[in-house]
Structure 1
Amino acid sequence: METLKDRLTEVMEDLKITRAKDLAIFCDVSEGLVTQWFSGQTNLGPKPLKAFSRTRFNIDWIADGTLPKYREQVANEGYGTSNQFSKVAVAEHGSPNLIEVRKVNLRLSAGIIGIALDQQESNGEPLLVQRSWVDKNGFIPSKLIAVAIKGDSMEPALYDGDTVIINTADCKLNDGDTYAVNYEGEAVVKRLVRDLGQWFLSSDNSDKSKYGRKTCQGSACIIIGKVVHKQSDRI
């Protein structure tokens, strides 16, 4: 079975790089991190994927083996993806420089890590985003999903009916950023705030009597992914 080490070795050969040190310089990371990639201790993050987007290889293939191998095949052959989050594909009727992010509903269970996706039947037109934006941020297209905001708890940042793109590959908590969360079996979009040594789900709505913050810990609060983009009819 092909491993990340195998794929990185092939990329290095194509770039005429022979040492881990040189790959670290190319990706602007430490040599120790490169060693962890080769040993299987950690996966590629946004910074190396951004660097690899300058090569002829498809970053999905580099990250997890998702075909096709080369970027030109994505454009010329219209490949989609086939893993758990197979909701992203090159736009069928548009430019190969655009990527479709399908709008989905999330089906969750309390305390269970992982999600099931249902493509929305109503207003199901996919979001189209520039491939250059995906590459620039080091996103893995197959890990991007789009969901609709429900309710007014995140106003004025997010309104009912807005659509957000979630990067399910990024579950690392960062104080003040917004995430999709499996909170006791319910899919919610909230801002994560660190206070008094704990993480809290916080709403942007100023009515704190209605939208008080909630503790985020353990199996009752499972991070689905980070919100990285929004689409709104409001200016």
Structure 2
Amino acid sequence: MSTFADRLKAARQYAGLTQKALADRSGVPQPNISRIERGGQDSSAHVVGLATACGVRPEWLAGGQEPMVAEGGNIASAPRPVRAFEDSDPLDADEVEVPRLTLKLSGGSGRLQWEIDQHGASNRFRKSWCAKKGLRAEKLVTVMIEGDSMAPTIPDGASVTVNTADTTLRNGRLHAIDYLGEFFIKRLLRQPDGSLLVRSDNPDKTRYPDWPISPEHADALRVLGAPVSVSADLD
């Protein structure tokens, strides 16, 4: 690629970023990025920031010196500035909004039903992240977790995003489940006799022992989805 403009566009596409997303990550205004990609603006002042944001080598971006990416490098290592937003802010082109939900017991079926939490903030994810994970944004929901039964995997107060399209029971994996009208996120383990063992990740088994579900009571358990992301504050 003979020009900086061509290399920047290739780097941005490699990172799966729109011009706006690259601007947010690099701190270079989006109009400047647009002009650089059209070959209409000097780029020397922004080489390091743009290269870091895209996860490519500055030497490659500046002059085409191979390789494009450092050995062992990947775009996940590129730092991303934190961007605060309000729920009323418009979505970026590469963003999707995932609602925060609560669960309530249905009076008819006696089963838990998702309900939008009117007091909870929504979460935002990048479309490129959803595509990489094979997720459909409209099937994602976020719930708040109370208690430390799944710590350290899921700390008390964590926000967990659940893929409601994935209701297949997979041995040893985390599942969001409805069991006898109660909501849990637990690890499910199939047993040789056909029963299920419901396990908390907290190592204190005095407080959080495993509990079995016999084959006769398996119908009382319903898989609501698979947790795909956990967000929690550090102590």
TM-score range (shorter-chain normalised) is 0.5 to 0.7
User: 2:188, 2:221 → 1: CA distance?
Assistant: 11
Runs of 4+ in 1 over 3 A off after TM superposition: 108-115
Distance of aligned partners of 1:155 and 1:111 in 2 relative to their CA distance in 1, 3 Å threshold: farther
Corresponding residue number in structure 2 for 1:144: 140
Q: Residues 1-235 of structure 1: matches in 2 within 5 Å?
A: 93-108=90-105, 112=109, 115-122=112-119, 124-196=120-192, 197-216=194-213, 217-234=217-234
Contact kept in structure 1, 2:173 and 2:187, CA below 8 Å:
yes
Cα distance in structure 1, aligned partners of 2:169 and 2:141: 19
Write out per-residue CA displacement over residues 11-47 of structure 1, whole angstroms, 9 at most, x where no aligned residue: xxxxxxxxxxxxxxxxxxxxxxxxxxxxxxxxxxxxx
8 Å CA contact 2:98–2:140 kept in 1: the answer is yes
Task: Kindly provide the amino acid, as one letter, of the partner of residue 230 in structure 2.
Answer: K
Tell me how far apart the structure 1 counterparts of residues 107 and 210 of structure 2 sit (CA, whole Å): 19
Q: Percent of aligned pairs with the same residue?
A: 33
Shift of 1:92: 5.3
Post-superposition CA distance 1:168-211 (Å, at most 9, x none)? 11111222211110011001111112233432210011121221
Compute the RMSD of aligned alpha carbons.
2.7
TM-score for the superposition, normalised by structure 1: 0.56
- Judged with a 3 Å threshold, the aligned counterparts in structure 2 of structure 1 residues 110 and 221 are, in CA distance, closer, same or farther, namely farther
Q: Which amino acid aligns with 2:157?
A: G
Q: Which moved more, 1:113-122 or 1:194-203?
A: 113-122
1:111/1:185 CA distance change after superposition, 3 Å: farther
What is the CA–CA distance in structure 1 between the aligned matches of 2:195 and 2:172, rounded to whole Å?
Answer: 13
Deviation at 1:221, TM superposition (A): 1.2
Amino acid at match of 1:170: D
- 1:142 aligns to what SS in structure 2? helix
CA distance, structure 1, for counterparts of residue 179 and residue 166 of structure 2: 17
Unaligned runs of 5+ in 2: 1-87
User: Structure 1: any 5+ residue segments left out of the alignment?
Assistant: 1-90
TM-score normalised by the chain length of structure 2: 0.56
The residue that corresponds to 1:72 in the other structure is: none
Residue 94 of structure 1, CA deviation: 3.0
Whose radius of gyration is greater, 1 or 2? 2
3-state secondary structure, aligned to 2:206: coil
Match of 2:36 in 1: none
Q: How far apart in 2 are the matches of 1:162 and 1:132? A: 23
